[in-house]
Amino acid sequence: MSTEATERLPLLGLSLQELRDVVTSLGMPAYTGGQVAKWLYERRVRSIDEMTNLSKANREKLSARYTIGCMAPADSQHSVDGTVKYLFPTHDGHYVETVYIPDGDRATLCVSCQVGCKMNCLFCQTGKQGFHGHLSAADILNQIYSLPEADSLTNIVYMGQGEPMDNIDNVLQSLRVLTSSDCCGWSPRRITVSSVGMRRHLERFLNESDCHVAISMHSAIAEQRAQLMPAERGMPIKEVVELLRKYDFAHQRRLSFEYIVFGGLNDSEAHARAIVRLLRGMDCRINLIRFHTIPGTILRGASEDKMLWLRDYLTHHGLYTTIRASRGEDIMAACGLLSTQRQEQEHEQQ
Active site residue 335: yes
Task: Annotate 237-269 with DSSP letters as a single string.
Answer: HHHHHHHHTTS--SSSS-EEEEEEEBTTTS-SH
Strands 75-78 and 66-67, by their bridges, are: unpaired
Q: Is 244 exposed, middle or buried (0-12, 13-18, 19+ CB in 10 A)?
A: buried
Q: How far apart are CA 85 and CA 344, in angstroms?
A: 17
Which residues in 135-168 are b (16+ Cβ under 10 Å) and which e?
Answer: bbbbbbbbbbbbbeeeeebebbbbbbbbbbbbbb
- Residues whose CB falls within 8 Å of the CB of residue 193, separated by 6 or more in sequence, listed in order: 157, 158, 164, 171, 175, 205, 209, 211, 212, 213, 214
Are the CB atoms for 160 and 125 separated by under 8 Å?
no
Could you give the count of Cα atoms lying within 13 Å of 261 in the half-sphere of its Cβ? 26
Could you give the count of Cα atoms lying within 13 Å of 89 in the half-sphere of its Cβ? 13
Q: How far apart are CA 162 and CA 105, in angstroms?
A: 28
**Residue among 113, 184, 284, 335 flagged as catalytic:** 335
195 φ, ψ to 5°? -165, 150
Residue type, 224: Q
- Residues whose CB falls within 8 Å of the CB of residue 144, separated by 6 or more in sequence, listed in order: 109, 111, 150, 153, 156, 178
Q: What is the DSSP letter of 231?
A: G
**Residue among 70, 97, 258, 284 flagged as catalytic:** 97
Task: Give the residue numbers marked as catalytic.
Answer: 97, 335
